[in-house]
């Protein structure tokens, strides 16, 4: 019996250069986004007084940011300006009692290693759910590393990038001052999201008006912070079903909390 393969069809041969061209164009597009995003980060660190002040406060509090802790990343289709924290997953060593347990431990270690290779913004909802389940079962320890990423292709302009930096730096401040655990404590997550939405400038009334999100002038900031914080809390599988309840419960206290600012930074 002949085992020779058929030559590629003319259609397949013609498609190969097209795919190669698309790949090259996307790579160039991502490089352009990255360069622009890198420029936004540099301008934020050099010229944005709020970004500079928050980083200085982190250092004063004893939480010196590591070099390059704000990065630009290709976030794919995930529509976000940025994100805070990389979930570090460490397997808890256990002495296997039989081959079955040994195989299970090996499979878990392989899964953890594979997730570690995936950038945080590319990790799926299922990845996070498996991490949380493994932690609940006592198989792994989870730790939130204080790193910030900006989604390079979703930044509208420099102002948007700087607001995203301030938002994520508020999370860094909260992690430093309270040792919060937003992965497992939904009230912690609700509070830090409320504060970040409120203090970052992302709920500016002109932007809300342009988006058609402002139903009334008075109190629009609180409504915006609640709406956006709820969406963020819903990203955690542990908190998703009761996200609005957690936000409502934490709102009064956390919306008034302007630390490390003496007053709201957007008030003139």
HSE-CB of 240 using CA atoms within 13 angstroms: 7
| Catalytic-residue membership of 168 | yes
Tell me if 102 sits within 8 A of 94, measured CB to CB: no
Task: Please identify which of the residues 89, 147, 163, 168 carries the catalytic annotation.
Answer: 168
What token pair was written down for 252? 């009064």
- Cut 0.75: pTM above it: yes
* DSSP H or E segment with residue 206: helix 205-211
Q: What is the pLDDT along the chain (268 residues), one digit of tens a residue?
A: 444 455 555 555 556 778 888 888 888 999 999 999 999 999 999 999 999 999 999 999 999 998 889 999 998 887 788 999 888 899 997 555 554 455 667 888 998 888 888 888 888 889 889 999 999 999 999 988 889 999 999 999 999 999 999 999 999 999 999 889 999 999 999 999 999 999 998 888 777 666 666 666 667 889 999 999 999 999 999 999 999 999 999 999 999 999 999 988 875 4
Angle 84-233-114 (CA atoms, 0-180°, nearest 5)?
55
């Amino acid at each position: 019996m002949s085992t020779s393969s058929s030559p590629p069809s003319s259609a397949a041969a013609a498609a190969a250069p097209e795919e190669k061209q698309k790949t090259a164009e996307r790579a160039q597009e991502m490089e352009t986004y990255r360069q622009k995003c890198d420029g936004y980060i540099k301008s934020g660190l050099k010229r944005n007084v709020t970004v500079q002040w928050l980083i200085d406060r982190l250092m004063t509090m004893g939480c010196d940011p590591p070099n390059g802790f704000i990065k630009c990343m290709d976030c794919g289709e995930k529509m976000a300006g940025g994100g805070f924290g990389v979930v570090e997953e460490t397997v808890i060593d256990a002495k296997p009692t039989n081959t079955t347990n040994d195989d299970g431990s090996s499979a878990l270690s392989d899964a953890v290693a594979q997730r570690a290779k995936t950038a945080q913004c590319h990790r799926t909802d299922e990845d996070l759910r498996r991490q949380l389940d493994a932690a609940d079962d006592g198989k792994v320890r989870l730790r939130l590393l204080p790193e910030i990423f900006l989604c390079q292709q979703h930044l509208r302009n420099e102002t948007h990038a700087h607001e995203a930096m301030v938002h994520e730096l508020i999370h860094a401040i909260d992690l430093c001052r309270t040792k919060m655990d937003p992965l497992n404590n939904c009230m912690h997550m609700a509070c830090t999201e409320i504060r970040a939405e409120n203090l970052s400038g992302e709920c500016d009334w002109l932007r809300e008006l342009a988006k058609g999100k402002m139903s009334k002038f008075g109190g629009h900031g609180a409504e915006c912070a609640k709406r956006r914080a709820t969406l963020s809390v819903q990203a955690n599988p542990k908190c998703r079903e009761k996200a609005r309840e957690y936000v409502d419960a934490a709102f009064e206290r956390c919306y008034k909390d302007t630390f490390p600012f003496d007053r709201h930074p957007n008030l003139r």
